Structure 1
C-alpha cells in the first residue's frame, strides 16, 4: 500500500481531509497510525487512525472501523514521518519524504522521496533506511528506483 502525503482521506463517503504523516515504530519499523487533517498539515487539528482501519481505493485512503486498541499496537519508540522530514543520501540533501510504501503487515517496504515539487518521485528501499536521526532519513544508497 502506497501512502503518499497529501492523499485524500475519506470515511463514510465524505472527505475528512488529507494525509499529513505516518507514525512508525522505531524498533520494528512498522507503521502503526496515519495522521490526517483538514488542510493536510500537522498541528493541534490533526487526527490519527490505526493503520488496520485504513484501505486504499484508487489513491484515496478510506477509513473503516478501527479495531479495539491493544497495548501491543502502541509504538514503543514512535517516529513521525511527514513532508518536513529530509532525505539525506551520502551526506547530501536529496529531497523530502513524500510518502511510504507499506507491506501487508504494516512494515515499511520503502520510503518515497521527492527533490522538488516539479521533479519525479523516487523510492529508497527499507533496507537502506536509517531512521536514527530526528527529522532525517539517511541512506547510503548510490542508486534509487524512480517511480
Structure 2
C-alpha cells in the first residue's frame, strides 16, 4: 500500500504490479489502519506436495485503530480491498508491536508486545475474539511466524 492509500497486487512470477483500488469497509469507511495479515489454507498440508484442487483461502487483517479482526472480501477478480468487521479482539494491537500468523480454518495466532513483554493469543476467525495464552516476560516480539502442525 502506498502512502496515498492505493493498494497493488504483485504477480509473484512476473513481478508486475496491478492496481487494486483502496481498502474500504462495506459501509464506506476508507483506509483503516490495517496491520498483520494472515491467510487461511495458505500452506501445503498433503503428502502429495500440492494443495487440493479447489481449496479456498481467506485473508484476515487486524485494525490497529479499532482493535478488531477484519476479513477481506474475495471475488472473481481476486481483489482484497473490500473489508468487513468480524469482531472485537478484546486485545490491544498496534503497528510495530503486533504480529499475526498461521490462520487455519477457524483460528489464527497473534502476538502483542507491551512494556517489554509479549502476549500470544489465539484468534477465533468466526467471532474475532482473542484468547490470551500467557505472557513472555522480558521479550518484546514485533512479529510472529508459526509453522502449523498438520490438521
With the length of structure 1 as denominator, give the TM-score of the two structures.
Answer: 0.33
Which entry has the higher C-alpha Rg, 1 or 2? 2
> Which is richer in strand?
1
With the length of structure 2 as denominator, give the TM-score of the two structures.
Answer: 0.32
> Which is richer in helix?
1
Q: Which has the higher contact order (CA 8 A, sep 6+)?
A: 1
